[in-house]
Structure 1
Amino acid sequence: MKIVIITVAGISSRFNKDVPNDEMVLKCLYYEENPEDTLIYRMLEKVKYADEIIVVGGFKFDDLIDYIGEHVPSDIRDKCNLVYNDHFDDLSSGYSLYLGIKESFNISEDISEILFVEGDLDVDGESFGKVINSKNSVLTTNPEPIYSNKAVVLYQNENDDFVYAFNSDHGLLSINEPFKAIFNSGQIWKFNDMGALKIANDNFKEYLIADTNLGIIQKYFDLIENDKIEVFGFNHWVNCNTRKDYKIIKEYWRNIL
């Protein structure tokens, strides 16, 4: 079984900046004219190959339920399993991933791979296809410059291990060991060792419950062999933090039609 986890639980504070409370939206559901021009719709189209799609929500969860029920084609909607994160406003992003992985193991014991996608991303189909088609666990990168106040850094150290660095306070970053390569993370991952993923998820619940999703991800990639990992870069990658970002993404969609 192939499972995809998409996390969309966050409050979207930057996206809703200066917007009245009664007009705040769940970022992945935002559109201006066409209800199919949303981040969640476009990503669901990309992952419809999966046997099961777990969408972890929180903020405006009822809106998410309504949107998927009304606007997502039935062949995709029937694969969607919506999970509510009741700690979306007091824990970090790691808890959403934890819930998604936990639900995956509840669904089936026969899972060949789990693809994890952060729900505020737009990426090109060609690069995404390489991630999908890989038989290995996958790390991804994006082509943007690395700025410490917003980038999730992925680097490869002298032992060929892949390590993440991120400052949740959006301050400066430090790397305290020699490294061979450094990248801006693409925020999409594939896991194909379910034993290692279960260990990483259980470890998160016990020791790292307030951490970001990197708490699970780093533990997983520490547990598997480097030769079982592939790294793919996206040609087009936008992390939609603001409505200006959405307009950039929408223009890209218009140009690729």
Structure 2
Amino acid sequence: MKISIITVAGVSSRFNKDIADEKKILKCLYYDENPKDTLIYQMLKKLESYDKIIIVGGYKYSNLMEYVDKQISQELQEKIILVENDHFDDLSSGYSLYLGIKEALDNFDEIDEILFVEGDLDIDNESFTKIIESDKNVLTFNREPIYSNKAVVLYQNENDEYKYLFNSDHGMLNLKEPFKAIFNSGQTWKFRDMELLKIANDNFYNNSIEDTNLGIIQKYFDLIKNKEDIELIGLKHWVNCNTRDDYRFIVEYWRK
């Protein structure tokens, strides 16, 4: 069984900046004219080959449920499992990923892989297909410049281990060890070992529940002993949609 997880629980603060309260919206549901021109719709189309698609929501959760009910085909709806994160405003992104993984591991057996993608991304189809078709654990990187105030940094140290750096306060970053390579993370991952993933997920809940989703991800990849089981995939087109200008750029890309 192949399962994917999309997390869309956040309050979309930058996306809704200077917007009146009654007009604020869950970022992944925003569109100008066509209700299918949303981040969530386009991502779901990319994930049609998966057996189950777990969407973890929180902020404006009822709007998410309504959108799935009205805009998503019945065939695709049958694959979707909606999970509500009721700590979206007091815990970080890690809790959403924790809930998504827990939903998968608690309810399904013989899972071959879990693909996790953050719900505010737009990725080209060719690159995304490479992720889907990989038979390994997957790390991704994009080709954007690395700025400490917004990038999730992925680097490879002298022991060939992959490590992450991120400042949730959007301040400076400090890499404290020698490295062989450094990348801007594509914020999309594939997990192939469910036993290791359960260890990483349980460790997060018991020891670092206030951490970002990197708390689970870093632990999982640290547990993989054979680094040949990891594939690093570069993404040709990648946009992290933080603002409405970002959204308009994405729509222009779709039209082209």
Both structures adopt the same fold (TM-score exceeding 0.5):
yes
Cα distance per residue 1:96-138 (max 9 Å; x no partner) = 0000000001221210000001000000000000000000000
- Is 1:146 matched up with 2:149? no
SS at match of 1:75: helix
How far did 1:75 drift?
1.3
Aligned to 2:232: 231
* Aligned residue number for residue 251 of structure 1: 252
Report SS of the residue matched to 1:216.
helix
Instruction: Measure, in 1, the Cα distance between the counterparts of 2:73 and 2:232.
Output: 32
- Tell which deviates more after alignment, 85-94 or 101-110: 101-110
> What is the percentage of aligned positions where both structures have the same residue?
66
Q: For 1:37-96, what per-residue CA distance to the aligned partner results, in whole angstroms no more than 9, with x for missing partners?
A: 000000000001000000000000000000000001111111000000000000000000
One-letter identity of the residue aligned with 1:36:
K
- Specify the alignment match of 1:53 in structure 2: 53
2:168 is matched by which residue type in structure 1? S
Runs ≥4 in structure 1, deviation > 6 angstroms? none
Counterpart of 2:112 in structure 1 is 112
1:16 equivalent in structure 2: 16
- Correspondence 1:178-257 to 2 at 5 A: 178-224=178-224, 225-255=226-256
What TM-score do the two structures reach when normalised by structure 2?
0.99
SS in 1 for 2:54: strand
Which residue of 1 is the match for residue 42 of structure 2?
A: 42
Runs of 5+ unmatched residues, structure 2: none
What is the letter of the counterpart of residue 253 of structure 1?
A: W
Measure the CA separation in 2 of the matches of 1:73 and 1:252: 24
Aligned AA (1:31): Y
For residues 189-231 of structure 1, the C-alpha deviation after alignment (integer angstroms, 9 at most, x for no partner) is: 0000001000000000000100000000000000012110000
User: TM-score, normalising length from structure 1?
Assistant: 0.99
2:68: which partner in 1? Answer: 68
Answering whether residue 84 of structure 2 is matched by residue 84 of structure 1, we say yes
* 2:39 maps to amino acid: L
Gaps of 5+ in 1: none
Q: Which amino acid in the other structure matches residue 245 of structure 2?
A: K
Q: Tell me the distance in 2 between the aligned counterparts of 1:120 and 1:189.
A: 14
Q: Which amino acid aligns with 1:229?
A: I
Secondary structure, in 3 states, of the residue corresponding to 1:6? Answer: strand
